[in-house]
């Protein structure tokens, strides 16, 4: 999504400026062309050499550049997005008031590209009415604001005002540049592996990390959908996503069933246990009592239940973790569960199994238009899944009788 995008990374003078180094690295790793612009204040906290080494171009700091007499105009007109990370109270006031006194503020006034600001300051400053008024004005003008988090601040204080995490900042950049092609759709995603209790201490589980499901939720939210994520994983939740925490297959079934009717797209990425102990012990099983015998019973088949109740205009996506015959198994599951698409992978393949940051899948569809997605980041896989969802919805709508649309 960021490949080839020209991003001006403005760094203003706050202690959180050091975190912009990681943001710069992540943007470059995602394929963006990053042009760092540091204010005089920023250079009290971070070195220009670091950014010049990591970014796509050397750091720029001055309006008075003999090589380029109007650098702010060139930067502003050539940018696909301008990101300010961190944005101090002074920077926000300058931007709100239209004050241009250095290269960064002049660039912000000289661009028509999306602008993303990431405020970071002490709690008292963040909560000051003047700062909040400036932010409200910027939001009305279309500036994207990444709110700060609560946490440890400079000087040992703790409170609101801590710069958002680098992954949150990059996600906000992606959202600002994304085509909102899922706008108007309600998307329900499940993630993680369920845990079926044996006793209050032990459980039957699987190796699913939930990373792919969380990536799917982030992708859907970035593209404008209203997203609910039902998850067993303790991973960060993408901004703007409603989260429902569950543990067992029964809890997941209840959470999904309650929300399924309102969803336009349901993506069952969770690894739901097929079996659970029929009679979990109410107290911890002691080792000296000997090896226990576990009698298992099947868990609810959530995907099949959704397939049986699916509306004609609803899109249902299943996932299949396989160890052999991946494509054939996916097609069999597609037909048996009543899904529209099944995303399958070989969990034994290098980089494509559980807990990896990468994945390699085949997307099989009820209309026969299968797609092989090569090894890549889980966000790239999520992008391919929703591209397939949109394409399927278009072709399905074309095939449905008009009185059912």
Q: Is 252 a domain residue? A: yes
Average pLDDT over residues 197-206: 95
Average pLDDT over residues 365-379: 90
| Helix, strand or coil, per DSSP, at residue 117 | strand
Q: Is 95 a domain residue? A: yes
Q: Is the pLDDT at 130 greater than 90, yes or no?
A: yes
Q: Kindly report, residue by residue over 298-353, the tens digit of the pLDDT.
A: 999 999 999 999 999 999 999 999 999 999 999 999 999 999 999 999 998 888 87
State residue 398's pLDDT score: 66
Is the domain of 173 the same as that of 191? no
Q: Is 243 a domain residue? A: yes
Out of 65, 134, 206, 345, the active site residue is 206
Last residue of a domain, one of 132, 160, 177: 177
Q: Is the pLDDT at 42 greater than 90, yes or no?
A: yes
Average pLDDT over residues 215-227: 93
What is the chain's mean pLDDT, rounded? 93
Q: Kindly report, residue by residue over 151-174, the tens digit of the pLDDT.
A: 888 878 888 899 999 988 998 899
Last residue of a domain, one of 143, 177, 211: 177
Task: Please give the residue range of the domain that contains residue 19.
Answer: 6-177
Last residue of a domain, one of 177, 205, 228: 177
Q: Is 225 a domain residue? A: yes
Is the domain of 221 the same as that of 241? yes
Q: Is 53 a domain residue? A: yes
| Two structure tokens written together for 124 | 């008292």
What DSSP letter does each residue of 72-103 carry, written as one string?
HHHHHHH-SEEEEEEE-HHHHHHHHHT---SH
Q: Is 1 a domain residue? A: no
What pLDDT band is residue 405 in, cutting at 50, 70 and 90? very low
Q: Is 213 a domain residue? A: yes
Which residues share a beta bridge with 226?
186
Q: Kindly report, residue by residue over 43-74, the tens digit of the pLDDT.
A: 999 999 999 999 999 999 998 876 777 899 99
What pLDDT band is residue 283 in, cutting at 50, 70 and 90? very high
State residue 399's pLDDT score: 65
206 is catalytic: yes
State residue 7's pLDDT score: 98
Is the domain of 170 the same as that of 192? no
Q: Is 339 a domain residue? A: yes
| Two structure tokens written together for 349 | 């393949």
Is the domain of 290 the same as that of 167? no
Is the domain of 310 the same as that of 191? yes
Q: What is the CATH number of the domain that holds 283?
A: 3.40.50.10300
pLDDT > 70 in the chain, percent:
98
Q: Is the pLDDT at 148 greater than 60, yes or no?
A: yes
Is the domain of 112 the same as that of 206? no
Is the domain of 153 the same as that of 247? no
State residue 171's pLDDT score: 86
Apex 37 CA angle, 35 and 39, nearest 5: 170
Is the domain of 193 the same as that of 277? yes
State residue 232's pLDDT score: 98
Q: pTM for the full model?
A: 0.76
Average pLDDT over residues 179-204: 96
* Residue 234 and residue 211 in contact, taking contact as beta carbons nearer than 8 Å: no
The total number of structural domains in the chain stands at 2
128 CA to centre of own chain: 30
Is the domain of 145 the same as that of 241? no
State residue 66's pLDDT score: 62
List Cα–Cα distances, 153 to 7, 123, 124, 218, in angstroms.
Answer: 28, 9, 11, 28
Average pLDDT over residues 211-231: 95
Is the domain of 87 the same as that of 212? no
Least confident piece of the model among 207-216, 226-235, 343-352: 343-352
Q: What is the CATH number of the domain that holds 57?
A: 3.40.50.1950
| Two structure tokens written together for 172 | 């906000």
Q: Please enumerate in sequence order all residues whose Cβ is within 8 A of that of 106, keeping only pairs 6 or more positions apart, or say none.
A: 63, 72, 76, 100
Is the domain of 66 the same as that of 210? no
Q: Is the pLDDT at 280 greater than 90, yes or no?
A: yes
Is the domain of 219 the same as that of 297? yes
Q: Please enumerate in sequence order all residues whose Cβ is within 8 A of that of 45, keeping only pairs 6 or more positions apart, or say none.
A: 13, 14, 15, 17, 18
* Residue 119 and residue 145 in contact, taking contact as beta carbons nearer than 8 Å: yes
H or E segment to which residue 51 belongs: helix 48-54
State residue 151's pLDDT score: 85
State residue 316's pLDDT score: 98
H or E segment to which residue 39 belongs: none
């Amino acid at each position: 999504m960021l490949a080839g995008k020209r991003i001006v990374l403005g760094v203003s003078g706050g202690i959180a400026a050091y975190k912009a180094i990681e943001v710069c690295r992540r943007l470059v790793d995602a394929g963006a062309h990053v042009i760092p612009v540091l204010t005089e204040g920023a250079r009290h906290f971070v070195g220009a050499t670091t950014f010049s080494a990591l970014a796509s171009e050397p750091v720029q700091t001055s309006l008075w550049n003999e090589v380029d007499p109007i650098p702010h105009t060139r930067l502003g007109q050539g940018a696909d997005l301008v990101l300010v990370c961190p944005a101090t109270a002074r920077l926000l006031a300058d931007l709100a008031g239209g004050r241009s006194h250095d290269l960064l503020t002049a660039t912000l006034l000289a661009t028509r590209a999306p602008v993303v600001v990431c405020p970071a300051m002490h709690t008292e400053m963040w909560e000051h009415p003047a700062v909040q008024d400036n932010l409200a004005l910027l939001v009305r003008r279309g500036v994207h604001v990444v709110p700060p988090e609560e946490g440890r601040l400079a000087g040992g204080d703790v409170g609101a005002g801590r710069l958002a995490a680098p992954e949150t900042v990059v996600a906000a950049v992606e959202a600002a540049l994304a085509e909102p092609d899922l706008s108007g759709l309600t998307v329900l995603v499940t993630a993680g592996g369920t845990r079926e209790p044996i006793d209050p201490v032990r459980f039957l589980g699987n190796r699913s990390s939930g990373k792919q499901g969380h990536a799917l939720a982030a992708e859907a939210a970035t593209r404008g959908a209203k997203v609910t994520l039902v998850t067993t994983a303790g991973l960060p939740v993408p901004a703007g996503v409603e989260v429902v925490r569950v543990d067992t297959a029964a809890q997941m079934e209840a959470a999904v069933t309650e929300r399924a009717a309102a969803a336009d797209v349901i993506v069952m990425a969770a690894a739901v246990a097929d079996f659970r102990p029929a009679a979990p012990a109410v107290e911890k099983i002691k080792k000296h009592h000997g090896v226990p015998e576990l009698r298992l019973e099947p868990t609810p088949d959530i995907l099949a239940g959704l397939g049986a109740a699916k509306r004609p205009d609803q899109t249902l996506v299943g996932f299949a973790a396989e160890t052999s015959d991946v494509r054939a198994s996916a097609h069999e599951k597609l037909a048996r569960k009543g899904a529209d698409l099944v995303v399958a992978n070989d969990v034994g393949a290098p980089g494509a199994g559980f807990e990896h940051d990468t994945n390699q899948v085949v997307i099989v569809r009820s209309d026969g238009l299968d797609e092989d997605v090569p090894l890549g980041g889980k966000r790239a896989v999520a992008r391919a899944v929703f591209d397939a969802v949109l394409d399927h919805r278009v072709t399905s709508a074309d095939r449905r009788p008009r009185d059912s649309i």
